[in-house]
Amino acid sequence: MQKVVFIQLVAGLLIGGSLGALMGYFGKCTSGTCPLTANPWRGAFLGALIGGLFAFSAGSSRPATPELAAVGPVAEAGGGKHAVLQIGSAADFDRYVLNAKQPVLVDFYADWCGPCRMLAPTAEKLAKEYSGRAVVAKVNVDELSEVAGRYGIQSIPAVLFFQDGQKVEHLIGVRPQNEYAKVLDKLLAKGAKSQESAPSDP
């Protein structure tokens, strides 16, 4: 993360300095009232200063952990307590989705897919609403085509629901948040009933 901020800062200095030098060269403010366009050297200095400030402020506002390639039910992507899990490999899918003790909602998406981007805020809201009760995860179909092929994903966004390692529901396209919530509520109720009916240990 620090390396990214450093690169961004250097880029801001170079771009700002270059633009400032051009403004100073072509501006030719003879009165000296405009320090940015008075001469190329002063323009480059002030431009670099402004560009560096912009780059530094943009870099420092980023979250500490933008995305994790492989995460578990406790270590969420984005560093937030209620963030959506980003599944990074087929092994992680098996571990964190199929072996989960809670119901799991998996959003199959691609970066180039417009409707997928529309669904992303809904997934984040569901992750927050069902934190501690259900898992909300994302799978990039371009990166994990093996997993997408395993479940016959043909159209995206596709939202699959899993319980006890089995796929139990499949919704295609962007739906209202309450439709996903209804499925999660149904799975949670089913899980609670099965726990009540399970024989207790002597």
pLDDT digits (tens, 9 = 90+) for 92-126: 999 999 999 999 999 999 999 999 999 999 999 99
Q: Catalytic amino acids?
A: 113, 116
List, in sequence order, every beta strand (DSSP E) within 80-146.
Answer: 85-86, 104-109, 135-140
Contact between 159 and 107 under an 8 Å Cβ cutoff? The reply is yes
- Whether 86 has a pLDDT exceeding 80, the answer reads yes
pLDDT confidence of residue 15? 72
The C-alpha atoms of residue 25 and residue 9 are separated, in whole angstroms, by 24
Global pTM reads 0.58
Q: What is the pLDDT of residues 119-166, one digit of tens each?
A: 999 999 999 999 989 999 999 999 999 999 999 999 999 999 999 999
CATH T-level fold of 77-194: Glutaredoxin (3.40.30)
Domain limits of the chain?
Answer: 2-60, 77-194
Placement of tokens 């949670």 in the chain: 188
Question: DSSP letters of 126-138?
Answer: HHHHTTTT-EEEE
Is residue 190 very low, low, confident or very high in pLDDT (cuts 50, 70, 90)? confident
